[in-house]
């Protein structure tokens, strides 16, 4: 079952009078509970694709279906979604994990994790419970009331992962999640990401590090705004076994 379907996606930016063609007819399908890495040299369109998938940006052209919902369509009848509608989709369907963690610096871990639930309009009691249990799930049960600057890099990324998970999104979108971490902490984060996959989450991992990408079961390689290679990894062929070596 296709969770995410990108069909002939184009994205063109205008920087001054120069047009930048970031995506040029990209096609791909990602199924539910897949674990996919997106790789490619810089300028290949990785970031743009990630923004399009994450509904932070809409394509210039092409069809994008996410979890049965048309995010963008060439057919003008199906309206292009506005800023607020996209915010709603991000809130409901996407869990972001960023390279720079992007936590609110003055809020506690708990409050950071609570945020998506607040914007989802969930009651105080329910969201406290959910945020609590999710933080425990990522191993931060004892750090809930700490602010980001009182946490280590690995712990911050765990908070970010809890925040990504908390609203049960369709996709967890991790953009270089280990980019700012040392190798030991990176390994821990990848163990957690693998675990999240094993319990049924769909994970899309954007990275330029091969050993990190290898955690996924499938690697999509981009070049010049198109998919240049789409292959299964060792893990993929082993069929969803949790893999701890890094």
Partner 1 sequence: MGQLWESFAMAFKDVFANKTRSFLTMLGIIIGILSVSLMGTAISGINNTFENSMEMIGNDVLHLQKYPWFMKGGDWWDFRNRPDMKVEYAEKILQRSKKISFASTEMQNMGNIRYGDNSIQGVFIDAASWQLQFVNSLDLLAGRFYTKAEDRNASKVVVIGYGIKDNLFPNQNPIGEEVRIRGMKYKVIGTLKEQGKFLGLFSFDNMAIIPLRSAYSIFGRRRHMSITLKVREGFEVGEAKEEVRMIMRSIRGLKPAEKDNFAINQQEAFRQQFSAIKMGISGAGFGITALALLVGGIGIMNIMFVSVRERTKEIGIRKALGAKQNIILFQFLSEAVIIAVIGGLIGLSITISLVGLLNKFFVASLSIKLIIISLSVSIITGILSGIVPARKAAKLDPIDAIRYE
Based on its alpha-carbon atoms, the radius of gyration of the chain, rounded to whole angstroms, reads 18
Running DSSP on this structure, what letter comes out for residue 160?
H
Binding mask 174-203 for partner 1 (x = CB under 8 A): ------------------------------
How far apart are the C-alpha atoms of 103 and 81, rounded to whole Å?
27
Can you tell me the distance from the alpha carbon of 57 to that of 53, in angstroms, rounded to the nearest whole number?
8
Q: Does 148 bind partner 1 (CB under 8 A)?
A: no
Min dist. Cβ of residue 9 to partner 1 (A): 16
| Residue 72 makes contact with partner 1 by CB under 8 A | no
170 binds partner 1 (CB under 8 A): no
Pinpoint the alpha helices (H) of the chain: 46-53, 83-93, 109-119, 124-137, 153-165, 183-198, 210-213, 234-237
Site for partner 1 in 98-117 (CB under 8 A): 98, 102-106, 115-116
Angle made by CA atoms 156, 157, 161, in degrees to the nearest 5: 120
User: Can you tell me which of 5, 21, 33, 56 binds partner 1, judged by CB under 8 A?
Assistant: 56
Q: Is 124 in the site for partner 1 (CB under 8 A)?
A: yes
- Are 33 and 236 in contact by the 8 Å Cβ rule? The answer is no
Question: What SS3 class is residue 211?
Answer: helix
Stretch that binds partner 1, among 37-45, 85-93, 182-190, 212-220 (CB under 8 A): 85-93
Kindly state the smallest distance separating residue 80's Cβ from partner 1, in Å. Answer: 15
Q: Is residue 165 involved in binding partner 1 (CB under 8 A)?
A: no
Site residues (CB under 8 A) for partner 1? 51, 54, 56-57, 83-84, 87-88, 90-92, 96, 98, 102-106, 115-116, 118-124, 127, 163
């Amino acid at each position: 079952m296709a969770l995410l379907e990108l069909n002939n996606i184009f994205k063109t930016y205008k920087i001054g009078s120069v047009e930048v063609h970031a995506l040029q007819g990209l096609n791909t399908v990602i199924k539910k509970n897949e674990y996919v890495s997106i790789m490619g040299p810089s300028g290949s369109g990785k970031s743009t694709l990630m923004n399009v998938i994450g509904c932070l940006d809409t394509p210039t052209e092409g069809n994008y279906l996410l979890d049965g919902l048309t995010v963008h369509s060439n057919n003008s009848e199906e309206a292009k979604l506005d800023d607020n509608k996209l915010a709603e989709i991000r809130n409901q369907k996407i869990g972001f994990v960023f390279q720079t963690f992007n936590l609110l610096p003055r809020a506690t871990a708990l409050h950071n994790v609570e945020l998506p639930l607040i914007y989802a309009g969930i009651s105080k009691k329910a969201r406290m419970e959910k945020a609590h249990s999710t933080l425990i799930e990522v191993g931060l049960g004892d750090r809930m009331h700490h602010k980001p600057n009182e946490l280590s890099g690995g712990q911050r990324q765990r908070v970010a992962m809890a925040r990504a998970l908390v609203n049960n999104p369709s996709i967890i979108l991790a953009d270089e999640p280990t980019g700012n971490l040392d190798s030991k902490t990176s390994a821990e984060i990848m163990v957690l990401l693998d675990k999240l996959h094993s319990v049924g989450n769909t994970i899309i991992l954007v990275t330029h590090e091969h050993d990190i990408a290898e955690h996924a079961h499938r690697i999509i390689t981009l070049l010049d705004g198109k998919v240049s290679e789409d292959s299964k990894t060792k893990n993929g062929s082993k069929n969803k076994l949790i893999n701890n070596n890094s």
